Chain A
Amino acid sequence: MWKWLHPYAKPEKSYQLAGKLLPWFAVVTVVTFVVGLVWGLLFAPADYQQGDSFRIIYIHVPAAMMAMAAYSTMAIAAFIALVWQIRLAEMNIAAIAPVGAVFTFIALITGAAWGKPMWGAWWVWDARLTSELILLFVYLGIIALYNAFSDKVLAGRAASILTLVGVINLPIIHYSVVWWNTLHQGATIMKLDKPSMDPAMLWPLMIMIVGFGAFLGTLSLMRFRNEILARESHRPWVSVLVTEKLAGEK
Chain B
Amino acid sequence: MAFDSLADFFAMGGYGFYVWLSYGITFFVLIFLIVNSMNKKKKIFKSVEQRLSREQRIKKAQNMEGTL
Tell me the bound Cα distance from A43 to B22 in angstroms: 19
* Residue pair B40, A42 in contact (C-beta under 8 Å): no
Q: At the interface, is chain B mostly helix, strand, loop or mixed?
A: helix
Residue A78 at the chain B interface, CB threshold 8 Å: no
| B residues neighboring A (CB under 8 Å) | 1-3, 9, 12-15, 18-19, 21-23, 25-26, 29-30, 33-34, 36-38, 40-41, 44-45, 47-49, 51-52
* Residue pair A116, B29 in contact (C-beta under 8 Å): no
- Of A52, A59, A109, A243, the most chain B CB neighbours within 10 A belong to A52
Residue A147 at the chain B interface, CB threshold 8 Å: no
Residue of B nearest to A37 (CB): B23
Tell me the bound Cα distance from A168 to B2 in angstroms: 42
Residue of A nearest to B37 (CB): A222
* Residue pair B45, A102 in contact (C-beta under 8 Å): no
* Residue pair B40, A56 in contact (C-beta under 8 Å): no
Further pairs besides A42-B2, A43-B1: 4, Cβ < 8 Å: A43-B2, A114-B18, A223-B40, A226-B37
Category for how many chain A residues contact B? 35 or more
Among A45, A60, A219, A233, contact of B22 (Cβ-Cβ < 8 Å): A60
Contact partners of A246 in chain B: CB under 8 A: 49
Report the minimum CB–CB distance from A242 to chain B (whole Å). 5
Contact partners of A226 in chain B: CB under 8 A: 37, 40-41, 44
Contact partners of B45 in chain A: CB under 8 A: 229, 242, 245
Interface digits, A199-238 against B, CB 8 Å rule (1 contact, 0 not)?
Answer: 0000000000000000100010011011001100100001
Contact partners of A60 in chain B: CB under 8 A: 22
* Residue pair A110, B22 in contact (C-beta under 8 Å): yes
* Residue pair B25, A110 in contact (C-beta under 8 Å): yes
Residue of A nearest to B49 (CB): A242
Tell me the bound Cα distance from A245 to B52 in angstroms: 13
Residue A181 at the chain B interface, CB threshold 8 Å: no
Report the minimum CB–CB distance from A239 to chain B (whole Å). 6
* Residue pair A230, B44 in contact (C-beta under 8 Å): yes
Contact partners of A230 in chain B: CB under 8 A: 44
Tell me the bound Cα distance from A185 to B9 in angstroms: 27
Interface digits, A25-63 against B, CB 8 Å rule (1 contact, 0 not)?
Answer: 000000000000000011111100001110110011001
